[in-house]
Structure 1
Amino acid sequence: MDDEAANQKLPYGAEYAKSNRSSCKSCKDSISKGDLRMSLRLQSRHFDGLQDNWFHFDCFWGRTKSDINEATIRGFSWLKWEDQEKIRVRCKMIADDPSLAATPKSAVPKVEHAKSGAGRCFDCKEKVPKGDPRVSFRASNYHVPCFFNKKLYTGDADKINGFESLTEEEQKTIKGYLGEDEEKKPEKRKADEAGSSGLKKPKLDSSEREKLKTQSKVLWDVLDQLRTLPKKDVVALLEKNGSMWTKHGVEANLEQLADKMVFGNTAPCRTCGGQFRYSESAHGYTCTGSLSEYTRCRHCCRNPDRISFKVPRELREEHEFLKEYHKKPKLESRYYGSVVEKTKIQTPTTSNADKKRYERKLAEEELRRQVKNGCVVDPECEVSESVHVYVEKKKPWQALLSTADAATGKNSFYKLQILQHDRLPEYYVFRSWGRVGTTIGGNKTESFGDDLEAAKKVFEDVFLEKSKNEWADRHNFKKRLSGMDMVEVDFDDRDAPTATLDVQKSKSKLPVPVKEIISLFFDMKLMDSALQDFELDVEKMPLGKLSYKHLLNAHSVLSSIEKLILSGCTEKVQFLDLSNRFFTLMPHDFGMRNIPIIDSMDLLKQKTEMLDSLLEMEAAYRMVKQEHKDEEKGDKIDPFDNYYSQLNCDITVLKSDDKEVELIKKYAKNTHGKTHDFKLDIKEVFKINRHDENEHFTTDISNHQLLWHGSRVTNFAGILSQGLRIAPPEAPVNGYMFGKGIYFADMISKSAQYCGTNQKVDGFLLLCEVALGKIQEEKEANTEIKKPKSGYHSVKGLGGTAPNPEGMVTLPDGVKVPCGKAKTMSKSQDYHLLYNEYIVYNVNQVRMKYLVRATMTPSYV
């Protein structure tokens, strides 16, 4: 049996009402305790999962889809036989006549009297007179004859929205178009009025029917007997047979125990040693064990190996009926029937309309977000404007918990804070929860007056419940099975600025073009936008709050995935486990989409590039916070001058007619690849001199060339201040075509691809003097390279298209500029790369020379 069955989410449900508290979603009347009730299982607005919407048995059938059968109904096999048969009858009716199933709202017209005579019929283009019946269908209006003659709707007349508001004569007219009359009702109406008692039972093979009936009766006899036992005895029976009482309710625990008594206890899982539990959704037995603290075992089978069911001696003596189950199963194995065996389950999906409804409005939340003492107070908190996060010994009482499971589709968060009033001795515990990146979820603000200790107690209890860790031990936090992980964030007791730098109001004497690029390099909104491009959850991980250590931990997880891919691993569950780890560490905003499993080099590379960019942005954010601290101290230095000094770099604006600029523009014009479908226009060229770079630059390696390097605008503050860096040891090697090094190109469009820009923001590229020395040439990617072979100083991935060597220009200092016109190389068919790539593995072989600002526009614009 496919392990994917363990992840099925059945669209319908059936059970006996546990109390008198539920009400029917259709007629709104209460559902009596013990009555058979049916549910539509839909995405909840209040938590990350499906929610049962309950109906009376008879009210339910007008809401189903035509694919309903016993295999799509959760809880079906635990119903009494006669109730199973009732459901089978109704399912067969719908299978025979699909029109009995619910009709989508978009496919049902609306009829009303025209409010004016101005509207025109979509079909005949004539006006619909005021007061005449008018049919509205999918954003268009029709005369009644025009609409029904086009056969756009063939359902029941009384299901048309607004039908009851028409006059008797108008209703009769519409019924005539639909072929209805008083003498002859449709067969399905007769079926509805007759109920299920007079209908033929669905055809089942006689032996199949007998097996299912016997199984249902035996299970119900056992359940009736178990309901007479006190809870302590049920717990004792479960524990004696390797299970335990779960939080799913009394009936669920009795059902699991009944299954073991009737068919025998399940043997441990061969994959992880865990216990099997019968799952209605999976139509089989799913393992309750785990592969790691992040991932449950997904093993699922129809009939697992069985061992004897054991009854403690004292219980056998106390309850006579238990003696007959001790080591004696009633039935050999569970029988499923042909319908279950053949049915492929369609998991409930969220409509596009619901997806849009659940999407978070980030811009609005950004405006409402309260940041105090370096911590975000959720705008949903009832007292958000007058409180701040309580801080004790420079440690805030707040926690962000996360869990992601690509198998079940869960992508949940839980936020917990103690809030202190800004002026009064009042304390609150605020908690919010839901699905990352959506409006699905809820929150609670609980007041404790001046009782701080009571607030701490509740905070600690909830933290323990959700994470399975003590708050006092949070600095040694360990992810536990069934517990959420803690997202590690940096805390700063000063609020970081979010205002955009204003070039016009600045009093700095820096050249305006320099101030413009500084305003872009430190633009917090651009950085937030970059996080959203990466599908990261900006609200749960405010920019600059993710710690450097946390990012390195995420890199380590990607490295583990890389090893699996290289080993040729075909076990999906291992990729699932590591993907769960990664997306739990780095909460992503997937909205209502499924969480992807990282099992390919392409996706691995995407996530590696994301983490590299975050490490650069982390450096930029440190500078933003430093500038803010200086401002708080009363330093009157202009922000532009402050940022400029932190860049550790001299930046000079070059004139457009400068010979250096002319050469760079020629270099750019000649080296635009044909496969790169965008226009590139150079706006500004800056000469740069990084402090201390000349001192460390290698002088004993020859063959210096001026080469391109592109990156996102949000990365340049980190790049200029720290230099181009090599990926950390924790990063996977295969995120990089020729191993971990610093990459360059001799084709500008090749490097421009890494700028990640659009029409709204200019991109930036570096021109660097690179000491290539003796070059090790490679015809195809080789991710295992850690450094060049002995005697070589750099690696070159050979591309099929490159600058014409005859156009090479040598500068007065001996640096070569490969600015010849692009041409196809003579042996291009032997090369796997389209364009050349140059890689050095020592930062001292790089010296930045120019910063180029360019507008990149897609060619179709």
Structure 2
Amino acid sequence: MKEITYQVEGRNVLRNDARCKLRAPVADLIAMVFNENFLKERMLEFHIDAEKITGTGNLMRRIERAYEALDRIRDAATQAKTDERLARLERSTIAFYELIPHHERAPLDTEELIDKKIEQLGELIELAEIEQMMDKHGSKEPRHILDQLYDHIKCDIVPLQREEDDFKMIERYILESGNSQYGDFRCYDVAAAFSLRRGGEDAAFRKDLPNRTLLWHGSNVVNYCGIFTQGLRIAPKEAAYITGQAYGRGLYFSDNFNVSMGYCRVKADEEPLILLCEVALGKSRNFHTGGGYHSDSGKSSWNSTFVGFGDKHTIEDPASFVPHPDGYGVPLSPHVDRTSTTEKPLRQNFYVVPKTDQARLRFIIRLRLKPGANVPSTRH
């Protein structure tokens, strides 16, 4: 019987048909998401010493305290230069590096450097979650480790066949997306597509809200452990300074495949994952200009924090969404360029909802670079 080797928690894991009950595409997906070595490689890129902070049993608490230290660093870095301020900055920086050991200790004295560390802590959370999960599912368990992990995430993941309507819809949705400032990612083929249901999401989802729409959400592969186990999460307030939360805290989506792919931070040797989510937009605030908006939806009658309609590469007719049998609309009409008549126009459409119960996972797509193609360079 043929054995297939996976790597989970930094060790090789053997799977054969007698020991793993998962279908091969699902097993491949689970092994890809829970590859701790991949996460540790990411930490090395950030100069974080993953070996010193894993296995301590309190990594999540360390990360929480590190966020607090970065808050203090930001306060000190943005104040007028005084001896007291410099002393506080030095103390807080030392505290941060003691909590999160690094191979290199660069000064954290600019907004850009602090934002990068906040973003890196977000990825470190994923490593902590994998560590906690693997602690619960040791090698003494008679079932295969991938079966254990699949049961733990409480998701129903079903491979789609290429002849199925949903698979064809996904491919069309990709092709109909126009270009974006993030590049054209239609250099990728769909390697595999899955329907995806998280336990508890259907019950919590705001089915009562109108304008349920299937939208893209891009995220790096390292984040999918947390997405599977906890769903999409709103970034902590400390991350509000980071690009990508320009219109307040919330869950961000797009009707343009290329826009969401820009947030996957893909490398040439990686196979990215991207989500399609059903989003209950409800009554929305619509804007055509960028900048200067902050969410106040929690204090108003608006369900959707922000819907930004771009003047370029926008869908031609929002009313022409294709209805899906599950009750949501799919924006499959072609994207076209429009001449901007506004100051600081948005370039693409994007959607922000303030509550996690306004979105539920529907599909996850694994992509593969076409032969001879190059990964577009991205900027935010």
TM-score by length of 1: 0.38
> Which runs of no fewer than 5 residues in structure 1 stay unpaired?
1-495
Do 1:727 and 1:740's aligned partners in 2 also have CA atoms closer than 8 Å? yes
Distance 1:740 1:674, change over 3 A: closer
Instruction: State yes or no: 1:761 paired with 2:274.
Output: no
Q: Is 1:696 aligned to residue 204 of structure 2?
A: yes
Which one of 705, 708, 714 corresponds to residue 213 of structure 2?
705
Aligned with 2:66 (options 547, 551, 554):
554
Q: 1:556 deviation in Å?
A: 2.1
Q: Does 1:812 align with 2:331?
A: no
* One-letter amino acid matched to 1:595: A
Q: CA deviation at 1:620?
A: 2.3
* Residue among 785, 788, 795 paired with 2:295: 785
**What SS does the corresponding residue of 2:53 show, helix, strand or coil?**
coil
Q: Which one has the largest radius of gyration?
A: 1
Matched, 1:720 2:203: no
* TM alignment of 1:125-164, pairs within 5 A: none
User: For the structure 1 residues 579 and 699, does the alpha-carbon distance in structure 2 shift closer, same or farther, using more than 3 Å as the test?
Assistant: same
Percent identity, aligned pairs only?
26
Q: Distance in 2 between matches of 1:696 and 1:505?
A: 36
* Kept in 2: contact 1:768–1:847 (CA 8 A): yes
Give SS of 1:531's match: helix
The answer for unaligned runs of 5 or more in structure 2 is 1-7
2:285 maps to 1:776: yes
Q: How many angstroms does 1:692 deviate by?
A: 1.3
Task: Write the deviation string for residues 287-339 of structure 1: whole angstroms up to 9, x where unpaired.
Answer: xxxxxxxxxxxxxxxxxxxxxxxxxxxxxxxxxxxxxxxxxxxxxxxxxxxxx
Report the RMSD for the aligned CA atoms in angstroms: 2.9
Which residue is 2:366 aligned to?
853
* Equivalent AA in structure 2 for residue 785 of structure 1: S
Query: 1:530 is matched with which residue?
Result: 42
- Post-superposition shift, 1:824? 2.8
Of 844, 847, 861, which residue of structure 1 is paired with 2:357? 844
Which of 708, 725, 734 is the aligned partner of 2:241?
A: 734
- Partner secondary structure for residue 760 of structure 1: coil
CA drift at 1:701:
1.3
Secondary structure of 1:716's counterpart equals helix
Deviations along 1:828-855, whole A, 9 cap, x unmatched?
7534543333221211111110011112
Partner letter of residue 811 of structure 1?
Answer: H
Of the three residues 582, 586, 589, the one matched with 2:103 is 589
Deviations 1:440-469 (A, max 9, x none): xxxxxxxxxxxxxxxxxxxxxxxxxxxxxx
The aligned length equals: 355
**Which of residues 232, 256, 271 is equivalent to 1:747?**
256
AA aligned opposite 1:609: E
| CA distance 1:604–1:773, shift in 2 (3 Å) | farther
**Of 324, 327, 335, which residue of structure 2 is paired with 1:822?**
335
Deviation at 1:859, TM superposition (A): 4.6
1:669 to 175, 196, 199: 175
TM-score, normalised by the number of residues in structure 2: 0.83
In the alignment, is residue 645 of structure 1 matched against residue 158 of structure 2?
A: no
Residue 805 of structure 1 aligns with an amino acid whose one-letter code is E
Higher relative contact order (CA 8 A, sep 6+): 2
**What SS is found at the alignment partner of 1:685?**
strand
CA separation of 1:777 and 1:860: change in aligned 2, threshold 3 A: closer
Q: What is the one-letter code of the residue matched to 2:100? A: M
Counterpart amino acid of residue 374 in structure 2: P
Give the alignment of 1:102-141 within 5 angstroms. Answer: none
Q: Are the counterparts in 2 of residues 559 and 732 from structure 1 also a CA contact under 8 Å?
A: no
CA deviation map 1:706-747 (0-9, x unaligned)? 111122212212211111112345x24323222322221222
Which residue identity is paired with 1:796? V
Check 1:830–1:604 CA distance in 2 against 1; reply closer, same or farther (3 A cut): farther
* Alignment match of 2:13 (pick from 458, 479, 501): 501
Conserved 8 A contact 1:555-1:732:
no
CA contact (8 A) 1:506 1:638 kept: no
What CA distance in whole angstroms lies between the structure 2 residues aligned with 1:774 and 1:860? Answer: 35
How big is the shift at 1:531? 1.2
CA drift of 1:626 comes to 1.4
Instruction: State the alpha-carbon separation in 2 of the partners of residues 757 and 543 from structure 1.
Output: 28
Aligned partners of 2:376 and 2:251: how far apart in 1? 32
1:496-645, aligned counterparts within 5 Å?
Answer: 497-504=9-16, 507-542=19-54, 547-562=59-74, 569-571=79-81, 573=86, 578-590=92-104, 595-600=106-111, 602-628=112-138, 631-632=139-140, 635-645=141-151
Which string of whole-angstrom CA distances, capped at 9 and with x for unpartnered residues, describes residues 550-608 of structure 1? Answer: 1112222333455567xx63438365654444334322233xxx7143422x4343222
Deviations 1:621-666 (A, max 9, x none): 22222111xx32xx31121211110111000000112111111111
Counterparts of 1:389-538 in structure 2, within 5 Å, are 497-504=9-16, 507-538=19-50
- Offset at 1:768? 0.5
Aligned to 1:61: none
Pairwise CA distance, 1:774:
1.4
